[in-house]
Chains A and B, each alone.
Chain A
Amino acid sequence: MGCSVSKPEDTFGPASAQVRISQGVGSNAPASSALGSTGAERASLESKVVLLGDSGVGKSSLALRFCQGRFSPYHEVTIGAAFLQQIVRLKDGSQLKLHIWDTGGQERFRAMAPLYYRDAWGAVIVYDCSHAPTWESVKFWVGELQAKGRPNCCMAIAANKCDTQDWQVDSKEAREYCESNDFIFVECSAKTGENVGRLFELLANKVYQQMLKGDPR
């Protein structure tokens, strides 16, 4: 219900992660600038993506880095969810507009999370690689999405704060877990910007393929 999907003109070529970000639309930009003047100029496809993970792992910072290209060490606590968007241009020229829902992380807000993830095509589950307990919650969110999310929701696991000197989560374990479950795995840092684009590009790519296959429901 949250995403309107119009038929793409072209079929998607060989799986490729080489996508390019064409244009950013900040959450504070006037709404009118987010829209083309005619329907034809709009991104041909829109897709809802949700950010999940423990409090303080950097969900808002990843969203802010990706959508507005900036980093703020003191970002206000997210209550409920924040809406941001970014257009990803895929290699074949088609565009995918990501509606990014950045959710509140405190465990108590989990009761509200289905409101935001239930019709999402993709999810980025974020943990802090310098804080081990946040990795445990990744599995909780995977279970939630599998049980109550959109069937075949594409998942990406993001190991944020990879610029840290104090690694507490073994990336090998995380990587193996993701490979065996067919999840995207990216080590990234919202602070330095490392791999943040790649994270969302990989996910956009996968979501796009999923959307071409159609909704299994």
Chain B
Amino acid sequence: MTGEAEAVGPPAAEYDEYGFVVPAGALGREIVRYKQQFQPKAERRVTRWERFRRADPSLSNRRRLKRLVRKGIPDSFRKEIWAHCLGSQRLRDANPNKFESLLREPLSDETLSQIELDLTRTFPNNKLYKYEDGVAKLRRVLRAFAVHNVRVNYCQSLNFIAAVLLLFMDEELAFWTLAQVVSSEEGAKGLHIDGYYVEGMDQLRADLRALERIVQRKFPNAYASLRREGVELEWVCQEWFHTLFSTVLPIQTTLRVWDCLFLEGHKILFRVALAIFKENELRISKFQSLEEVMVSMREISSHQVDHNSLLKAAFKGIGRLKRAQIRREQAYGERMVAEENAAAQARRERHNQAHPPPPAKPQLPALDNPGHGEAGGSGEESPVGAAVREAARRLESVIDSCYDSILGDGDDDVDVSPVDGEPPAARLPGSIPALSPDSVFSYLGVSVSSMLQPSNSSDATRSSVNVHRGDNALATSPAK
């Protein structure tokens, strides 16, 4: 611990055990102090984990695993346990040459240059990514992922997630783990958050709406304070969810959050976000200006040094938070996003009618669905808009009926994911393999493949937003 010496200049920086520059000033001192204070606990945990691993090499006692994970995985076990929880080790073993072969596949110039652009802008405060060696690893993981997950390809935020994984894992395992974090190809494991990273980001927007409703209910004073100053919750929380907190919390706290997230799934994002509100409720309730909210919320998240107390708040402090409740709020969020998309589309169309676009502008393709094919020039709603809205309406009813039928598992503490990845398809909403947009729409009886073709058109892209959303929504419905 260095006091004043840290502030001298970037080259003389002190690094923590994960290669991050220890922040200058009071925050850095607090991190170092907390680490020392936590040390005895950390050592006890290592002993407990060693005993557990010896007694249960296949990690079959899930209850015990969960209890230990919630108290934090020691650094020396993280790689193995993360890979186990997400099923990425199994994927790697099953696909021995996949990573290398993905790296030989071509990628578009656009993707390559975006990845290149972001490599040097990913945790520039971490030692590993100051040197070409670490940057090259990150490049390969992101490129392989972009080939592998066609729908997501590359999206900013994945660079940060991959970079944290690489602090613990070799490239190949980090790649499979990233693949599992984003979607799920192995049993019931994985977070199923593809929709955070695809065009439109509908799932992210819907989740933020859901979070907003829960914050409003659980912390009415804090919420009222934000609204009073005209702050949208999304302004504050978008980055929290998108980078899985990795750019907003101190690294030690991020890792604790990820331990639970990778084992217990997506709802942990909600629990941790709510815990941040819980831990700072009084302060947040007293904000008096927009700038105070924005500056202080940033400061609050970066000061969550006491990871133990944050995690305690996430599981005990915020009270009950049932999966079913989150699902209900997500459904609400999805409806709001669909409405927003439709309104934006309509607004853009009105604008385009008033100011005809220049000829270079890409045109919307016609639908091959004869009923909607020719809208003439006068219609207020484009055929694509109508089809998407119709699809959204049908999806809504599918979602609603699904919720009623599958969400019997209200109890939050019930383990629903199996340890070995045998998919308990009928029980767990998250376990259904994602359907392709085509199958979703054939199920819905809407013909959309033609309208998706020219994906470089901004209008067509906008229209495809609901298609992706539909894909997600159905991915959480039970297998018929």
Q: How far, in whole Å, are A30 and B289 apart by their CA atoms in the complex?
A: 13
User: Within A97-152, which residues are at the interface with B (CB < 8 Å)?
Assistant: 99, 104, 106, 108-112, 114-116, 140, 143, 146-148
Return chain A residues, CB-CB under 8 Å to B458: 110, 140
Chain B residue at minimum C-beta to C-beta distance from A109: B156
Q: How far, in whole Å, are A3 and B229 apart by their CA atoms in the complex?
A: 9
Q: Are A116 and B121 in contact (CB under 8 A)?
A: no
Contact of A112 among B124, B238, B295 (CB under 8 A): B238
Q: How far, in whole Å, are A46 and B290 apart by their CA atoms in the complex?
A: 10
Return chain A residues, CB-CB under 8 Å to B123: 76
With A83-B294, A104-B156, A108-B201: A115-B344 Cβ-Cβ less than 8 Å: no
Q: Are A99 and B124 in contact (CB under 8 A)?
A: no
With A34-B292, A34-B295: A1-B230 Cβ-Cβ less than 8 Å: yes
Number of chain A residues close to chain B: CB under 8 A: 41
Q: Are A34 and B156 in contact (CB under 8 A)?
A: no
Q: Are B122 and A2 in contact (CB under 8 A)?
A: no
User: Within A1-19, which residues are at the interface with B (CB < 8 Å)?
Assistant: 1-4
Q: How many A-B residue pairs have CB under 8 A?
A: 116
The B contact surface, by secondary structure, is: helix
B247 contacts A by Cβ under 8 Å: yes
Q: How far, in whole Å, are A142 and B236 apart by their CA atoms in the complex?
A: 26
B200 contacts A by Cβ under 8 Å: yes
B155 contacts A by Cβ under 8 Å: yes
B137 contacts A by Cβ under 8 Å: no
With A74-B124, A111-B205: A79-B242 Cβ-Cβ less than 8 Å: yes
Q: How far, in whole Å, are A113 and B118 apart by their CA atoms in the complex?
A: 20
With A83-B294, A83-B295: A55-B239 Cβ-Cβ less than 8 Å: no
Q: Are A35 and B344 in contact (CB under 8 A)?
A: no
Interface CB pairs A-B, < 8 A, 15: A25-B291, A28-B295, A31-B291, A75-B121, A76-B125, A77-B118, A77-B121, A77-B156, A77-B159, A81-B238, A83-B235, A106-B155, A108-B197, A108-B198, A110-B458
* A contacts, CB < 8 Å to B: 1-4, 25, 27-32, 34-35, 46, 55-56, 74-77, 79-81, 83, 85, 99, 104, 106, 108-112, 114-116, 140, 143, 146-148
* B contacts, CB < 8 Å to A: 114, 117-118, 120-125, 155-157, 159-160, 197-202, 205, 230, 232, 234-235, 238-239, 242-243, 247, 288-292, 294-296, 298-299, 344, 347-348, 350-352, 355, 357, 458, 465
